């Protein structure tokens, strides 16, 4: 009986614990209200991203404290692998790919290499492997999550800011900025940030949360600028590559 009561108490406790995610961790600035993304959308998925415990530092794929750690407001609870692959554009593609994989929208999981080669998950999951700008059948059909991660590592190896910038669509009206948008400048190196959440005031002025990875590959981190995690297009940022937080670099997946 005691064991049953303890189990029941534990279950009740678990049921009352609020999820620690982007929405629950970050309260909107005074005078602003969160812009709720459409249920099931990429934006809603990003707003629900789980976070590691408060105070967790940003670490590289080697486990070392990342040089960007001073900009850490939170760490997204997502693997980074053991290779120097999941850098800035890679993290954005990982988030997009994860969302589509969880939706089982496998046909939509596709990214272009810098060469222009279209690398889609369906080919990879059906056993095809990339060889000299072609697909060659070499393996068995496998739509499992571990195989999805292997596919993403392939993408990370051959895609980057240059290719992702070309894939994304220009946001012509910055007033329509939404969760899931990307600030990106292609190059060697280029850089990009992804919008994790948006809040606006009565005059429709917007503030937003940003996330990034970096070089070498590191945790996906929610950013802060001098202790403030809420960025704006009307506010100059002092973080690395902060000049990209501009309407000139604003794009989106769809």
Helices 145-158 and 88-102: angle between axes, nearest 10 degrees: 150
In 3-state terms, what secondary structure has residue 117?
A: coil
**What average pLDDT does this structure show over 122-138?**
98
pLDDT at 254: 86
Q: What is the pTM (predicted TM-score) of this model? A: 0.91
In 3-state terms, what secondary structure has residue 128?
A: strand
Backbone angles phi, psi at 28, to 5 degrees: -70, 155
pLDDT at 253: 96
Spatial contact of 213 and 83, defined as CB atoms under 8 Å apart: no
pLDDT at 18: 60
pLDDT at 222: 98
Per residue in 6-46, pLDDT (tens digit) is 444 444 333 445 679 999 999 999 999 999 999 999 999 99
**Rg for the chain (alpha carbons), in Å?**
19
Tokens of 82: 């053991």
**What average pLDDT does this structure show over 128-151?**
98
Residue of 6 and 140 predicted with greater confidence:
140
- What whole-number distance in Å separates Cα of residue 36 and Cα of residue 179? 9
Per residue in 42-73, pLDDT (tens digit) is 999 999 999 999 999 999 999 999 999 999 99
Mean of pLDDT over the chain? 93
Assign 159 a pLDDT band (cuts: 50, 70, 90).
Answer: very high
How many residues belong to the chain? 254
pLDDT at 235: 87
Helices and strands (H and E) in the chain: how many: 7, 12
């Amino acid at each position: 009986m005691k064991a049953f009561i303890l189990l029941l108490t534990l279950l009740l406790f678990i049921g009352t614990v609020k999820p620690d995610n982007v929405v629950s961790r970050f309260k909107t600035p005074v005078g602003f209200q969160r812009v709720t993304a459409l249920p099931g959308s990429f934006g809603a998925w990003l707003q629900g991203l789980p976070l590691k415990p408060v105070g967790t530092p940003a670490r590289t794929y080697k486990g070392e404290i990342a040089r960007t750690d001073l900009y850490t407001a939170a760490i997204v609870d997502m693997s980074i692998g053991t290779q120097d692959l999941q850098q800035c554009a890679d993290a954005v593609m990982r988030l997009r790919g994860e969302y589509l994989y969880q939706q089982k929208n496998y046909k939509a999981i596709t990214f272009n290499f810098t060469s222009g080669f279209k690398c889609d998950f369906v080919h990879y999951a059906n056993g095809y492997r990339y060889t000299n700008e072609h697909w060659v059948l070499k393996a068995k059909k496998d739509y499992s999550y571990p195989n999805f991660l292997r596919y993403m590592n392939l993408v990370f190896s051959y895609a980057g800011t240059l290719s992702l910038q070309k894939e994304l669509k220009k946001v012509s009206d910055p007033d329509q900025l939404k969760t899931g948008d990307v600030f990106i400048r292609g190059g060697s190196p280029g850089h990009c940030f992804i919008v994790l959440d948006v809040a606006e005031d009565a005059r429709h002025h917007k503030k937003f949360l940003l996330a990034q990875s970096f070089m070498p590959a590191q945790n996906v981190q929610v950013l802060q600028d001098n202790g403030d995690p809420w960025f704006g297009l009307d506010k100059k940022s002092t973080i690395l590559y902060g000049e990209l937080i501009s309407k000139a670099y604003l794009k989106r997946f769809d």
